Amino acid sequence: MVTFEEYKDLTSLTTFGVPVKARWYAEYASEKELLKITRDGRFIDNQVYYIGGGSNLLFLHDFDGLVLRSAIKGIVRYDKDPQTCYVIAGAGEKWSDLVEWTVNNEIAGLENMAAIPGDVGAAPVQNVGAYGVEAKDVVFSVECFDTMTRKTVRFSAEECGFGYRDSMFKHEGKGRYIVLRVSFRLSQTTKPSNLSYGPLKEFAKNLGHEPTIREIADEIKRIRDSKLPDPDKLGSAGSFFKNPVVHNGFLKEIEVLTGQRIQGHPVGEHHTKVSAAWLIDNAGMKGMRCGGAMVYEKQPLVIVNTGHATAEDVKLLAEKVRSEVRNKFLIDLNPEVNYIDTTINVTLLGTGTSKGIPEIGCMCRVCQSPYLKDKRTRTSALVRTMGMTLLIDPSPDFRQQALREGLHHIDAVLVTHGHNDHVGGLDDLRPFCADHRLTVYTDPITDKELRTHFEYCFREHPYPGVPTFDMHVIDKNPFFINGVKIIPIEVMHGQRPILGYRIGKFAYITDAKTIAPEELEKLEGVDTMVLNALRDRDHFSHFTLEEALEVINEINPRQAYLTHFNHEIGRHHELASRLPENVAPGYDGLTFNVR
């Protein structure tokens, strides 16, 4: 039977031990119970987050939504032949218990991952790994519940899209697929599957005989205990940062600019995996404190709660570590820990139309205004939520916008349409493509336009250093980015359909002239929205101020901001004086939160 708990204290369910509560909490022990949960209003009407052992996450605030946890148990084996067997474990089983079970039953393959905290369900999501072995090496298939179709589906290891501490479950699958069970393809033997990792090679050499899986598991527990904090004394999330993978050309450039030879080992033909622990240590951050949070002195990859840390302490310390490493080595460390925060932080990078304000050659009083709020670069925005930074439209002015905001990381790009004043800055995304293809979401028409206008970015063998992209063509149906639900809103830009986006209770729409009733329905319940309002005089493809106010009045958000102005709209303070109480003119650099 499913029970929903209100204002549940989650502190003991996370390994950080930072105080946090959830508005709603529920556990499920079967697909039937999970199906019942997904039909409940508390699931349908709230942000939903799934936790396992709570070992790889940091709640920045109390969670204003529903937290779910698997209680699906059970471990079974199926022997295929004298050498091979399959082990199937419920998502709610502890990972360390599963490893111990396989070792006790003389089944090899998981022993190198002994003592990793967390539940089995998190293993394929995170592609957990240690001492030369990752989940991708042993996972055969993953059984999931699809929250959109409400059916059970199964993914092969290939379909999981495994990468370094990554999988499709952290991207397009997050929020949609809930792991129920994981099947592993293992070996019926006491002989270890992998002794390639340095400390294990040395251990085997000193042992004087080929170690058993029991000896390897015990040695790994000993090594981990010597490096990692006792969870009963110091809360942590294990390794806080990923080891960065850097292109060899960029690595050589870093060494020339910094004079530092950076440690790492080859990954593929053109990249090197760099030791994040070495970077942090050599940036002088070992032992650094921020409130009750500290960079662990025995292992600088770990941030610990010394007993009274707040989530803000941990976040600030992590940002300080990233800043110091970036300043000294020009490498940005990405957290392995998931930041959980339902707050949506929005920054309007630009609020001008295609010519910007001031317009070139114009001597009108608006273009000649000395006030900063009347200087408007081409329209774009940043959205930060759940630890992610999303860019909406790389305008031709993106470079100066990014420098103004001190922007150094983007997780994905949402494109509204392919007109140059919204995508002309695509080439300036080079810094965000240094070690991977940057994910871009857009409609089919714009995808084709980008591939034509920026052809050099999409060649099979692109010129070194050009930005490269992982293109996702979307329609009007919702999709997920790292668990965050994105709802496209189709609007008409004259005769052309383009996209706006709804994220939680925030909506962003630009270049609209009309919005169909069925698309307006998607905006029901929006708290804060940004909407274009070109000028007072009619335009064939943009809302006038009057038309924009009519749409806002129909949607009735708590707060609305206007954007995509030309100089005819007047000066900022003049426009503000003639707007309703819940409507304000946006301006470049405006930042606000939506909760």
**Count of other CB atoms within 10 angstroms of residue 297:** 12
Active-site residue, selected from the candidate residues 23, 165, 181, 384: 165
Beta strand spans in 386-437 (E): 388-392, 412-414
Length of the chain: 595
Active-site residue, selected from the candidate residues 193, 239, 380, 395: 239
Backbone angles phi, psi at 177, to 5 degrees: -105, 130
> Using CA atoms, how far apart are residues 349 and 397, in angstroms rounded to an integer?
9
Residue 336 annotated in active site: yes
Residue 239 annotated in active site: yes
Q: Are 395 and 421 in contact (CB under 8 A)?
A: yes
Q: Are 311 and 60 in contact (CB under 8 A)?
A: yes
DSSP 545-593: HHHHHHHHHHH--SEEEEE-B-GGG--HHHHHTTS-TTEEE--TT-EEE
Q: 187 - beta bridge partners?
A: 84, 108
Residue 69 annotated in active site: no
Cα→Cα distances 158→167, 366, 470, Å: 10, 57, 18
> Using CA atoms, how far apart are residues 475 and 495, in angstroms rounded to an integer?
18
**Count of other CB atoms within 10 angstroms of residue 281:** 15
Q: How many CA atoms lie within 13 A of 550 on its CB side?
A: 9
Active-site residue, selected from the candidate residues 336, 449, 519, 547: 336
> Using CA atoms, how far apart are residues 108 and 89, in angstroms rounded to an integer?
15
497: cis peptide before it, omega within 30°? Answer: no
Q: 5 - beta bridge partners?
A: 25
Residues carrying an active site annotation:
165, 239, 336
